[in-house]
Amino acid sequence: MLDHLLSPITIRNMELDNRCVIPPMGTNLGNPDGTVSEKNLAYMKRRAESGVALIITEITGVHPSGCVGLGIYDDRFIPGLRQMVDTIHQAGSKAALQLHHAGREAMPQLKKGEAIGPSAVPSFVYGIPPREMSHDDIKMIIRSFGDAAIRAQAAGADAVEIHAAHGYLLTQFLSVHANQRTDEYGGSFKKRARFVIEVVAEVRKRVGADYPILLRISAEEFIKHGYLVEDVIGILPDLVAAGTDVLHASVGTHGSPGGITSAPPEYDAGWNVWRAKKIKDAVDIPVIAVGRFTDPLIADEVVASGDADMVAFGRQLLADPDFLNKARQGRTGDIRRCLACNQGCIERLMLEKGASIRCAINPETGQELLVPKKPAETPRRVWVIGGGPAGMTAALEAATLGHEVTLYEKSDHLGGQVHFARQVPFKKVYGDWIDWLAGRIESRGVTVRTGVSVTDAMLENGDPEVVILAIGGKKTTPAINGIDQPAVSDAWQVLNREKPAGKQVVVIGAGLIGMETADFLVNQGSRVTLVEMLPHSPVLKITGHGYQLHKRLREAHVQFYFSTTISSIDGDRVTLSHENKEEILEGIDQVVLAVGMKPRSDLKNTLRDKNIRHFIVGDAYQVRRIIEATEEGARAAWNI
């Protein structure tokens, strides 16, 4: 089992004992000055314990004009980078430092007017043009990549990876959307590739003949009128001749729709492998495949079939750093599989200023220094009230620390809102995670009591030492005339199949619950109208799942009414109000309420009045996402 994935491979002077790679992932855990922090080291140590043969670090900036994370543009960065490399080596893995320049994607430099790019064309993301690089700039940045490679060697790294993917400077030279030059660095795709080729050649010249050089490239730009994998194949001989030893075949840029560089759950495992295969067929050097891998057996087949030589596991190693060790031991059922939700690893860094990396289903990620390293000195009797993501995570973490845990859930099932979310298209993986959590809780000896509503008397008679209140939220009901009509149901009844899908359905609320319920209904054959009081949906199109959700509903001809409320429901007639004008929809056989939730207040006063030590977590504190629920549940357990 896994004979191909776990077989060795040699790249110049670097011997790897398996074909598994951790690709570079931004963490924002570094110090403000771009040096390596204790958080970086703790995070990297946990990843290195996975048994993966090669770890490629997050980006290290080769020049101040494009440094947006850790730096490698000065010798002062070497000691910290050496510590990171040593941490990786101590766990038995090899380390490659990724060399990077953000170009026009460097927001701090854009604000100061210091960002550079192939042409003065603003990015799709920031809309601020960089300064067009002169020939002297080009030569300087090429030298900077070479200088950085020498520093990587001084730090003890086993290899370097040049970042030519995802819309950063080297990709910008490749892209007609960013490169409008008329000199030798612009024009045809081959001419636009000249800068990348010269960077590789400079790094090879500086590091010598035996030192491995990886090149991460977006095999396809994945944007309208962007370059294709066939274009990339045409420059591969030049990249190999310049000194490339391994091609890391990613896809997309920051301008690509739907966050394709970190594909959402709509994409199957290995969805991008065919591009890696095209590249592998064109060159005689190893190729790394990427693309939502969570199953070691699928990855093994990729190597066995010759589609790629190595496989990158990125987000999966955030969700479960023990992934490969479990696979080696034949414990694939114990693996906590990545949901591809992107809440902690992408959206958090993208949307929350100053935020660092997290994982929505593994609260340890990015918080390695906070996780207790040994069992609790004094085990406590802990009641967890509520069996959703927050409560289940709290129960697992508390039991792991040696506490005596009882989990109460008033319904007959665990999972909270995920019990319903798992019913919608492409979210089965969420249900699989809940099932995994349930199994882990059982294995840790947690007493689970479903169908039980905790009362004041139970709290007093049971005498818990600590209570973690994770009772979730309650549905909000809008004040609409006719809300009690037989045709009216709520999203949870529909998703739970308590109420059959109608033929002509109005869904009230275009937040995530409403949008996903509409998606579910469309899948059942309903014609859906979505009504939202806000001027637009709160579900952001810039997120991977959000983009796909909007796209599917648009293609299904779902009609949206924004800045609109419902005045009344009368039989099969629904009256809408928009800017003081009314519109009547007729022939409606179902109205679905999906206007959201608010925190439940049950037991909060009792816990306070009886002076029972307690924590309020998840939706019981404030209605939000899975990532907030699991982090709060875990922290409550850690702080007992």
Residues catalogued as catalytic: 168
Strand-strand pairing, 20-22 and 14-16: unpaired
DSSP string, 314-330: SHHHHH-TTHHHHHHTT
CB atoms within 10 A of CB 198: 18
Residue 551: helix, strand or coil by DSSP? Answer: helix
For residue 388, which of 414, 361, 427 has the smallest C-alpha distance?
A: 414
CA distances from residue 551 to 266, 426, 513, 544, 568 in whole angstroms, order as listed: 12, 14, 16, 11, 30
The whole-angstrom separation of Cα 338 and Cα 25 is 15
The residues with which 98 forms a beta bridge, in sequence order, are 59, 161
CA angle 598/600/603 to nearest 5° reads: 165
Task: Give the whole-angstrom CA distance, residue 545 versus residue 218.
Answer: 21
Cα–Cα dist 544/567, whole Å: 34
Six-digit token pair at 28? 């924002």
Q: What is the C-alpha separation between 569 and 367, in angstroms, rounded?
A: 49
Q: 340: left (phi > 0), else alpha (psi -120 to 50), else beta?
A: left
In order, the DSSP letters of 443-458 are: HTT-EEEES----HHH
- Cβ-in-10-Å burial (0-12, 13-18, 19+) of 603 comes to buried
User: Whole-angstrom Cα distance, residue 83 to residue 75?
Assistant: 14
- Pairing state of beta strands 447-450 and 597-599? unpaired
